[in-house]
Amino acid sequence: MAQITRDDVAHVARLARLELTDDELGTFTEQLAKVLDHARDVEALDVGDVPPTSHPYALQNVLRADEQAPCLDRAAALEAAPAVEDGQFRVPPVLGEAP
């Protein structure tokens, strides 16, 4: 596997919605490379015939009874919001245009 590059780190930072300074980009690239280097032991394993485990205790189709039950009320859900309007979460313009 190729070493993780500054461009890779800049790319994942964008995907994760994080802004990095040039200095941070350098530090994180170096640190992530070290961790991924340690992971080469896993990468090198031939485990194609081993099924993956996504969960240690496999439960299937966990469903509750189809009955009405109380849930969090709107006022309580909105109470901690940074901005609210008409009983909804208010955010800045999504497309960059002022309302």
Partner 1 sequence: MTAADVPHGDTALGIAAAVRSGTRSAVDVVEEHLTAIAARDGEIHAFNVVTADQARQAALELDRRVAAGDDPGPLAGVPVALKDNMCTIGVATTCSSRILEGWRPPYDATVVERLAAAGAVVVGKTNLDEFAMGSSTENSAFGPTRNPHDTSRVPGGSSGGSAAAVAAGFAPLALGSDTGGSIRQPAALCGVVGMKPTYGAVSRYGLVAFASSLDQIGPFARTVGDAAALFEAIAGHDPRDSTSIPEPAPAVSAQLGEGVAGLRVGLVTELVEAEGVQPDVIARLRQAAEALEHAGAKVDDVSVPAVVYGLSAYYLIAPAEASSNLARYDGVRFGLRVDAPTTGEMYDRTRTEGFGAEVKRRIMLGTYALSAGYYDAFYGKSQRVRTLILRDFEAAYQDFDVLLSPTAPSTAFELGAKTADPLTMYLNDVCTIPSNLAGHPAMSVPYGTGDDGLPVGVQVMAPALGEPTMFRVAAAIESAAASAT
Contact footprint for partner 1 (CB under 8 A): 1, 4, 8-9, 11-13, 15-19, 28, 31-32, 34-36, 38-43, 45, 47, 50-57, 59, 62, 64, 72, 76-77, 79-83, 89, 91-96
**At closest approach, how far in Å is the CB of 58 from partner 1?**
10
**At closest approach, how far in Å is the CB of 73 from partner 1?**
9
8 A C-beta contact, residue 42 and residue 66: no
Give the CA angle between residues 3, 5, 14 to the nearest 5°: 135
30/4 Cα distance (integer angstroms): 9
